[in-house]
Amino acid sequence: MEKITITIDGKTVEAIKDQPVLMAAKENGIDIPALCHHPELENSGGSCRVCLVEAIQGGRSRIVTSCNYPVRKGLEIRTDTEQVRNIRKGVIELLLCRVPDSEVIQNLAAKYGIKEPRFFTDEGESDRNKCIACSLCTQVCEDVVGVSAISMQNRGRDKAPGTPYHKDSSVCIGCGACAYACPTNAISMKDEKGVRKIWGKKFKMVACSVCGKPYIPEAQVNWIVRTTGKERSFFDKCPDHR
Asked if 35 interacts with ligand FES (CB under 6 A), we say yes
Under DSSP, is residue 128 helix (H, G, I), strand (E, B) or coil? helix
Asked if 79 interacts with ligand SF4 (CB under 6 A), we say no
Residue 104 binds: one of ligand SF4, ligand FES, other proteins, none (C-beta under 5 to 8 A by kind): none
∠ CA 183-185-188, rounded to 5°: 145
Asked if 50 interacts with ligand SF4 (CB under 6 A), we say no
Task: Tell me how many residues contact ligand FES (CB under 6 A).
Answer: 13
Burial track 141-156 (b if 16+ CB lie within 10 A, e otherwise): bbeebebebbebbeee
Residue 51 binds: one of other proteins, ligand FES, ligand SF4, none (C-beta under 5 to 8 A by kind): ligand FES
Asked if 184 interacts with ligand SF4 (CB under 6 A), we say yes
∠ CA 130-137-152, rounded to 5°: 80
Q: Compare residues 25 and 147 and give the one whose CB is closer to ligand FES.
A: 25
Q: Compare residues 28 and 222 and give the one whose CB is closer to ligand FES.
A: 28
Estimate to the nearest angstrom the gap between the alpha carbon of 210 and the chain centroid: 34
H helix count then E strand count, the chain = 6, 11
Residue 200 binds: one of other proteins, ligand FES, ligand SF4, none (C-beta under 5 to 8 A by kind): none
Question: Residue 92 and residue 43: Cα distance in Å, rounded?
Answer: 22
Residue 155 phi/psi, 5-degree rounding, is: -140, 175
Contacting ligand FES (CB under 6 A), which of 6, 23, 51, 53? Answer: 51
Burial track 110-138 (b if 16+ CB lie within 10 A, e otherwise): eebebeebeeeeeebeebbbbbbbbbbbb
Asked if 65 interacts with ligand FES (CB under 6 A), we say yes
Binding stretches for ligand SF4 (CB under 6 A): 131-137, 140-141, 145, 147, 149-150, 161, 172-178, 181-184, 186-187, 198-199
Contacting residues toward ligand FES, per CB under 6 A:
34-37, 45-51, 65, 67
